[in-house]
A and B are shown apart, each in its own frame.
Chain A
Amino acid sequence: MNLILVAVIVLGVVGLVSALVLFLASKKFAVWEDPRIKQVSDVLPQANCGGCGYPGCSGFASACVKAAEGGSLSDLNCAPGGQAVMEQVAGILGLKASAAAPKVAVVRCQGTCDVRPHGVEFDGVHSCKIQNMTGMGETQCLYGCLGEGDCAAACLFGAITVNPATRIAEVDESKCTGCGACAKSCPRGIIELVPQGPKNRKVVVLCNNKDKGALATKECKVSCIGCGKCVKVCDKFEAITLGTNLAHIDPDKCKMCRKCEEACPRGAIKAFNFPPRKPKAEAAPVVSPASPKVEETVAKASASPIVEKKVETQKESETAV
Chain B
Amino acid sequence: MKTFRIGGVHPAENKLSAGSPIREAALPKQAIFSMFQHIGAPAKPVVKKGDVVKVGTLLGEAVGFVSAPIYSSVSGKVSKVDVALDASDTRRMAVYVDVEGDEWEESIDRTPDLVRMEDRPDLDAQAIIEKIKQAGIVGMGGATFPCHVKLCPPPGQKAECVIINAVECEPYLTSDHSLMLEKTDEILVGVSLIMKAVNVNRAYIGIENNKPDAIRLMQEKAKAYPQIEIVPLKVQYPQGGEKQLIDAVIGRQVPAPPAIPISVGAVVQNVGTAFAIYEAVMKNKPLISRIITVTGKSVKTPSNLLARLGTPFSQLIDECGGLPADTGKIIGGGPMMGKALISLDIPMTKGSSGLLIMNDKEARRAAPEPCIRCAKCVSACPMGLEPYLLAKISSQYMWEEAEKEDIVSCIECGSCAFTCPSHRPLLDNIRLGKSTVMGIIRERAAKK
Interface, chain A (partner B; CB < 8 A): 119-120, 123-125, 127, 129-130, 133-136, 142, 211-212, 215
Tell me, rounded to whole Å, the shortest Cβ–Cβ distance linking B292 to chain A. Answer: 20
- Is there contact, CB below 8 Å, between A142 and B428? no
- Is there contact, CB below 8 Å, between A136 and B90? yes
Tell me, rounded to whole Å, the shortest Cβ–Cβ distance linking A22 to chain B. Answer: 34
- Is there contact, CB below 8 Å, between A134 and B89? yes
Tell me, rounded to whole Å, the shortest Cβ–Cβ distance linking A59 to chain B. Answer: 16
Partner of A211, one of B88, B91, B432, B435: B91
Given known pairs A135-B89, A215-B83, the reply for A125 and B425 (CB within 8 Å) is yes
List A contacts of B90 (CB < 8 A): 135-136, 142
- Is there contact, CB below 8 Å, between B425 and A133? no
Complex Cα distance, B69 from A156, in Å, reads 50
* 12 further A-B pairs in the complex, CB-CB below 8 A; given A130-B431, A133-B435: A119-B342, A123-B364, A125-B395, A125-B425, A130-B432, A133-B431, A136-B90, A136-B342, A142-B90, A211-B83, A211-B91, A212-B83
B340 contacts the other chain (CB 8 A)? yes
- Is there contact, CB below 8 Å, between A142 and B91? yes
List A contacts of B83 (CB < 8 A): 211-212, 215
Would you give the 0/1 interface string for B405-432, flagging 1 where the beta carbon is closer than 8 Å to chain A? 0000000000000000000010011011
Complex Cα distance, B423 from A125, in Å, reads 12
B365 contacts the other chain (CB 8 A)? yes
Complex Cα distance, B329 from A123, in Å, reads 11
22 interchain pairs (CB within 8 A)?
A120-B342, A124-B425, A124-B428, A125-B395, A125-B425, A125-B428, A125-B429, A130-B429, A130-B431, A134-B89, A134-B339, A134-B340, A135-B88, A135-B90, A135-B342, A136-B85, A136-B89, A136-B342, A142-B90, A212-B83, A215-B83, A215-B91
- Is there contact, CB below 8 Å, between A123 and B432? no
Complex Cα distance, B231 from A99, in Å, reads 73
- Is there contact, CB below 8 Å, between A129 and B425? no
List A contacts of B364 (CB < 8 A): 123
- Report, nearest first, the 9 A-B pairs whose CB atoms are least far apart: A135-B89, A135-B90, A125-B428, A120-B342, A125-B425, A136-B89, A130-B428, A124-B428, A123-B365
Complex Cα distance, B431 from A123, in Å, reads 15
List B contacts of A120 (CB < 8 A): 342
B363 contacts the other chain (CB 8 A)? yes
Would you give the 0/1 interface string for B332-374, flagging 1 where the beta carbon is closer than 8 Å to chain A? 0000000110110000000000000000000111000000000
Tell me, rounded to whole Å, the shortest Cβ–Cβ distance linking A214 to chain B. Answer: 9
> Which among A119, A129, A212 has the greatest number of chain B C-beta atoms within 10 A?
A129
List A contacts of B425 (CB < 8 A): 124-125
Tell me the B289-313 residues at the A interface (CB within 8 Å): none
Tell me, rounded to whole Å, the shortest Cβ–Cβ distance linking B81 to chain A. Answer: 13
Given known pairs A134-B89, A211-B91, the reply for A129 and B432 (CB within 8 Å) is yes
Complex Cα distance, B339 from A130, in Å, reads 14
Complex Cα distance, B89 from A134, in Å, reads 7
Interface, chain B (partner A; CB < 8 A): 83, 85, 88-91, 339-340, 342-343, 363-365, 395, 425, 428-429, 431-432, 435
List B contacts of A133 (CB < 8 A): 428, 431-432, 435
Complex Cα distance, B124 from A252, in Å, reads 66
List B contacts of A136 (CB < 8 A): 85, 89-91, 342
A119 — nearest CB in chain B belongs to which residue?
Answer: B342
Complex Cα distance, B425 from A212, in Å, reads 36
Complex Cα distance, B343 from A119, in Å, reads 9
- Is there contact, CB below 8 Å, between B363 and A123? yes
Tell me, rounded to whole Å, the shortest Cβ–Cβ distance linking A140 to chain B. Answer: 8
List A contacts of B431 (CB < 8 A): 130, 133
Tell me, rounded to whole Å, the shortest Cβ–Cβ distance linking B312 to chain A. Answer: 17
B365 — nearest CB in chain A belongs to which residue?
Answer: A123
Given known pairs A119-B342, A211-B83, A215-B83, the reply for A127 and B432 (CB within 8 Å) is yes
A132 — nearest CB in chain B belongs to which residue?
Answer: B432
Complex Cα distance, B90 from A88, in Å, reads 50
Complex Cα distance, B431 from A148, in Å, reads 17
List A contacts of B365 (CB < 8 A): 123-124
Complex Cα distance, B340 from A191, in Å, reads 28
Tell me, rounded to whole Å, the shortest Cβ–Cβ distance linking A188 to chain B. Answer: 12
B89 — nearest CB in chain A belongs to which residue?
Answer: A135
List B contacts of A130 (CB < 8 A): 428-429, 431-432
List A contacts of B432 (CB < 8 A): 127, 129-130, 133
List A contacts of B363 (CB < 8 A): 123
Tell me, rounded to whole Å, the shortest Cβ–Cβ distance linking A223 to chain B. Answer: 14
Complex Cα distance, B84 from A215, in Å, reads 10
Complex Cα distance, B342 from A114, in Å, reads 19
Complex Cα distance, B83 from A127, in Å, reads 27
Complex Cα distance, B436 from A129, in Å, reads 10
Tell me, rounded to whole Å, the shortest Cβ–Cβ distance linking B246 to chain A. Answer: 28
Complex Cα distance, B365 from A124, in Å, reads 8
Complex Cα distance, B431 from A135, in Å, reads 14
List A contacts of B428 (CB < 8 A): 124-125, 127, 130, 133
Complex Cα distance, B432 from A125, in Å, reads 11
Complex Cα distance, B426 from A125, in Å, reads 9
Complex Cα distance, B340 from A133, in Å, reads 11
Tell me, rounded to whole Å, the shortest Cβ–Cβ distance linking B84 to chain A. Answer: 10
Complex Cα distance, B429 from A212, in Å, reads 33
Complex Cα distance, B343 from A127, in Å, reads 22
Complex Cα distance, B339 from A123, in Å, reads 13
Complex Cα distance, B430 from A130, in Å, reads 10
